[in-house]
Amino acid sequence: MPSSLPSAPWRGVFLAACAAVLSAAFPASAETSSLALTPAPRLVEQAAGAFPLDRGVEIVVPDGDAGARNAASFLAGLIARSHGFTPDIREGAAGARPAIVFETSQVSGPEAYALTVGPDRAVIQASGDGGRLYGATTFWQLATQAPGARTVPAVRVEDAPRFGWRGLMLDSARHFQSVEFIKRFIDQMAVYKLNVLHWHLTDDQGWRLEIRKYPRLTGAGACRVPAGEAQKDIDPATGRPREYCGYYTQDQVREIVAYAAARNITIVPEIDMPGHAQAALVAYPEIGAALTPPKTVEADWGVFPYLFGVDDTAMGFARDVLDEVVELFPSPYIHVGGDEAVKDQWKANPAVQARMKALGVKDEHALQSWFIHELELHLKARGRRLIGWDEILEGGLAPDATVMSWRGLDGAVAAARMGHDTVLSPQPMLYLNHRQSGAPEEQPGRGKVVTLKEVYAFDPAPSQMTVDERRHVLGVQATLWTEHMRTEDRVWRSAWPRAAAVAEAGWSDEGRRSWAGFSARLPVETARLALLGNPFDILALEPTLVADRAGRRVRVGLGVPAGAGEIRYTTDGSTPTAKSPLYGEPITVPLDATVQARTFVDGRPLGEARRWTADARLAGTRYSGQLAMCSDKLNLALEDDAPLRGERAVFLIDILEPCWRWNAADLTGVSRIEVAVGQLPFNFQIGKDIEKITFRPPATPAGELEVRAGGCKGERIGVLPLAPAVDNPAVTVLTGAIASRSGKQDLCFTFTQRGVEPMWAIDRVTLVPGAMAGGK
């Protein structure tokens, strides 16, 4: 539930403890706007002077206080990475040396803390281990206000969280991450006071957790053969396609859980049931409801129909697995999924139907409710609470279940009205697998762009709830589904800096949150991420450009996808500074001019300068992410499956209606067109929706790319045969003539083919004026 921290009692305790040493350092009023602290603290007062942070500093903790020593060690490690030295840690009372001192004080709440920094003492006061750690991270943020800073500004901070659940979900089932990565990720979460790592460990595409009673779960369920071109990657040891494998041993899990606990992070494991079960059923088909069990772990994305059964064998398996899970994870909550459980196999299985009749449940939704309730009773007997996605509401919610709402906020509102606790994790605004920008270099993900500003704008106190209902909101959580994050680097870049916005939503009081304040801190926050060696998506913070022809000149439009800061630009080849011209509206420049642009926040650069040559090709080119989709059915930014190693193209495509539009394309003088195309495996489980995907019939065996003017029902002005691209699994550039047109018209691009395999996609389109025909 939201934290409640009366300010007056806390402030009294704080001042009484610190007055003798530090009260004279603070003036009656203090300026706080210059400090970059994220998430924004409850109270900040800055004073004159500074604390020296150099090799003479020591960290002092109370005798025998393991929590304080742990926080001190974490702080010492951060200082070592940012300042190049590790302060000494010792127990007892502070001496004559400048010292960072941990003290036990009865501040309100285990995660609350008070921090006072003066000329020779920095005092961190807390009553709980979480508060000690967060006081330490705030001190480190004060120490990294500027690159190379060797002093910490004198300041007083009083702070506590708004919500008790501030989380990120990491999907290790679709793509596997190393133990080392997860530890680094946990460290970064701790810096931003995030305290829950929801760990998605099982799904159709892989079972990642060792269960000793059922060894085939990882023996058979932790490997798959990737789709597409990867099937040609033959393992010489086996003569078969190389498999994608990975799982966590129980010893590794204990190590990660302990590592997280030392950083005040609870790991909530997710074992998905009754759906998303294919990997488990490959290992143990007898626990499933399918009349024809799956033989292999598939590489397709989407929703498979495979469900756990409901007989004694299946329920015994589920209980056995949960028994080992609760031994590994001390979290008070165990997540059982419950989402996207297509009921077709239950409907078709006579044994399941007989079980329903014996139980007296009216339909398959009620059967899932019974299934979840059985798991809840088992977990309750083990002293744990069940949490699941909002589908567990269907058919009736188990009495003590907690709902994680992902399909908007309706699930959270319904749960709260029924008196159940809830965690807010709605898509798309808190789904970090969505792209952060439409930049051509942006990495794969869900097609809809969810910007940093949109994430920050999410309100964790929904207006749809009454005040009483909001008391059931445990907190907020963002998700990292990894279908399209095959590398750890992509996980980092998908998460940060948007996860910092989520952290502020969960921690900071409503009155302390503002986009202006958060965006003003971004230059410092991105510098801290870089300082720790952790990647983040800089593309969303740097200017993007779209160019159009304007007679013999080029019209340039600039923007910052994240919505932060302002753009300064130059057209004379020089690097933009904070005094360069301010971009306000599209500019027109001579052909072949050099345009450079950079984002600035309060005069400080955010990211690097971007550089473009405003030539005819730039003005005549749109990448797929810059084109409009003809529909919004299931838009994805998909990575090409070739080459096997090295850089790959990323195509924006609506897989249910592959169709692209270039609105208001200037066709004056254009005689030819270049289109870079790629082909992808259709590795998507979309059920009967696949029958809705239609194409115009091809005129040749390989098919064609058709170009129409005036919209998708307009006149066909160009046809590019796909035959040259058929044998190239990577990107192929097709060229051809198009009928002459003048002025601006909407162009529509579609493929002709007889089925969805392969799925053709556009990488980029270039309109070629007569003067540059044949150019590359």
Please identify every residue annotated as catalytic: 340
CA atoms within 13 A on the CB side of 463: 1
Angle between helical axes of 250-261 and 312-328 (0-180°, round to 10): 50
Compute the distance between CA of residue 679 and CA of residue 651 in angstroms, rounded to an integer: 10
Q: How far apart are CA 84 and CA 57, in angstroms?
A: 13
The tokens for 311 are: 């007989």
**Which tokens sit at 602?**
């309060």
Encoded tokens for 444: 């794969």
Structure-block tokens of residue 313 = 């064998």
As given in the structure block, the two tokens for residue 115 are 């921090």
Rounded Cα gap, residues 374 and 369, in angstroms:
9
Write the Ramachandran bin of 592: left for phi over 0, alpha for psi from -120 to 50, otherwise beta. left
User: Residue 314 burial (CB < 10 Å; 0-12/13-18/19+)?
Assistant: buried
Tokens of 328: 């590994």
What count of other Cβ atoms lies within 10 Å of the Cβ of residue 675? 21
SS3 454: helix
Question: In Å, how far from its chain's centre is CA 370?
Answer: 33
Question: Is 73 in contact with 51 (CB distance < 8 Å)?
Answer: no
Whether 45 and 156 have beta carbons less than 8 Å apart is answered as yes
Coil, helix or strand for 700? coil
Residue 680 near residue 641 (C-beta atoms within 8 A): yes
Neighbours of 391 (CB within 10 A): 20
Identify the CA nearest to 456 among candidates 487, 415, 500, 425. 500
DSSP class of residue 446 equals E
Beta-strand (E) ranges in 247-316? 266-273, 301-302
DSSP 38: S
DSSP secondary structure of 346-378: HHH-HHHHHHHHHHT--SHHHHHHHHHHHHHHH
Q: Which two tokens stand for residue 296?
A: 């292999």
Place of tokens 């990867």: 230
Which helix (H) or strand (E) segment holds residue 389: the answer is strand 385-389
The angle, 0 to 180 degrees and rounded to 10, between the axes of the packed helices 364-381 and 312-328 is 40
Is residue 127 within 8 A of residue 104, CB to CB? The reply is: yes
DSSP-assigned beta bridge partners for residue 371? none
Give residues with Cβ within 8 angstroms of 438, minimum separation 6.
449, 544, 561, 625, 626
